């Protein structure tokens, strides 16, 4: 059966997808953020729902409409995203971490707006590490047989860096994007290689984010057994 006329191969499954980019506040009006649009994560959520899954979408600061038939949990920071993902992952068959999670957050939060002062240089911003959600859920699986997927954008030595990252994170699959022209944050299309912990390598040609999403669910489905 051709994909597109949707086959409900994920019926009875609960999948969790994280999407978007976390924002780490400095004060009530400022944050450290990133350029993730959330489009790839939303495409994953839509396609999983179309394939019959119950979907929890943990959405960090996206400007996209809630996909139909999906439970959307909105979060701001990496710490909030961690809580929402851990909660949803407790009974999930698969977790796909498409969100761009900030590696660091400001060590201090100013409850009032930070003001500039005449004749004074700005204070440096001190950062602390955020939790690594993907590594944590992979090391401490909520369910046996749970399939966990990470995403990585790399600029150099894409496959070697991807393999090393897959091993470090301990997930089952890692979708590696080469960041460059036509493959940037916010784009409608994508090109990637999906690396498997079993040594597999699945190239996904340049195309819509839905096509990459379908390949991810094909690979997840094969591992769910
Ligand atoms: N990730 C996460 N928690 C973090 C950072 C990243 O869960 N604090 C997840 C992302 O959602 C993604 C994967 O880990 O699925 C890889 O993110 P990436 O930033 O490429 O990995 P890092 O280990 O942070 O490596 P780098 O130093 O290259 O940023
Ligand atoms: Ca990172």
Q: How is 69-136 classified by DSSP, letter by letter?
A: T-EEEEE-SHHHHHHHHHHHHTT-SEEEE-SB--SEEES---SS-----TT-PPPPPPEEEPP-HHHH
- pTM of the shown model: 0.95
Rounded Cα distance, 94 and 28, in Å: 35
Decide: helix, strand or coil at residue 31: strand
How many other β-carbons are positioned within 10 Å of the β-carbon of residue 10? Answer: 24
Instruction: Judge whether 39 is annotated as a binding position.
Output: no
Determine the Cα–Cα distance for residues 114 and 137; give it in Å rounded to an integer.
36
User: Given ligand 1 and candidates 44, 96, 97, 128, which is best to mutate, with the most ligand atoms within 8 Å of its CB?
Assistant: 97
pLDDT tens figures, 49-72: 999 999 999 999 999 999 999 999
Closest residue CA from atom 19 of ligand 1: 152
The ranges of the chain with pLDDT < 70 are: 1-5, 180-185
Kindly list the catalytic residues: 34
At residue 189, the pLDDT reads 84
Collapse the DSSP code of 53 into the 3-class scheme (helix H, G, I; strand E, B; otherwise coil) and give the result: coil
**pLDDT on residue 181:** 61
Question: How close is the Cα of 95 to the center of ligand 1, in Å?
Answer: 14
pLDDT of residue 214: 98
Task: Check whether 133 is labelled as a binding-site residue.
Answer: yes
Q: Are strands 54-60 and 30-32 parallel, antiparallel or unpaired?
A: unpaired
Dist CA 140 CA 36 (whole Å)? 27
In this prediction, residue 186 carries a pLDDT of 72
Which of 26, 19, 76 shows the shortest CA–CA distance to 42? Answer: 19
**150 DSSP β-pair partners:** 97, 174
Query: What are the phi and psi torsion angles at 21 (to 5°)?
Result: -130, 135
């Amino acid at each position: 059966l051709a994909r597109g006329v949707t086959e409900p191969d994920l019926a009875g499954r609960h999948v969790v997808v994280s999407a978007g980019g976390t924002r780490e506040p400095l004060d009530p009006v400022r944050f450290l953020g990133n350029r993730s649009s959330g489009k790839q994560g939303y495409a994953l959520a839509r396609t999983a729902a179309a394939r019959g899954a119950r979907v929890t979408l943990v959405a960090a600061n996206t400007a996209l409409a809630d996909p139909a038939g999906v439970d959307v949990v909105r979060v701001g920071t990496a710490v909030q995203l961690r809580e929402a993902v851990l909660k949803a992952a407790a009974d999930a068959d698969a977790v796909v971490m498409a969100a761009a999670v900030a590696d660091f957050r400001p060590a201090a939060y100013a409850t009032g707006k930070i003001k500039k002062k005449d004749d004074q240089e700005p204070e440096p911003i001190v950062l602390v590490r955020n939790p690594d959600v993907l590594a944590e859920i992979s090391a401490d699986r909520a369910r046996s047989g749970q399939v966990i997927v990470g995403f990585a954008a790399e600029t150099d030595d894409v496959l070697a860096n991807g393999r090393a990252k897959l091993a470090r994170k301990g997930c089952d699959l890692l979708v590696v994007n080469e960041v460059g022209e036509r493959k940037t944050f916010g784009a409608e299309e994508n090109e990637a290689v999906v690396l498997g912990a079993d040594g597999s390598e699945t190239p996904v040609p340049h195309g819509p984010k839905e096509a990459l999403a379908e390949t991810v669910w094909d690979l997840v489905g094969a591992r769910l057994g």
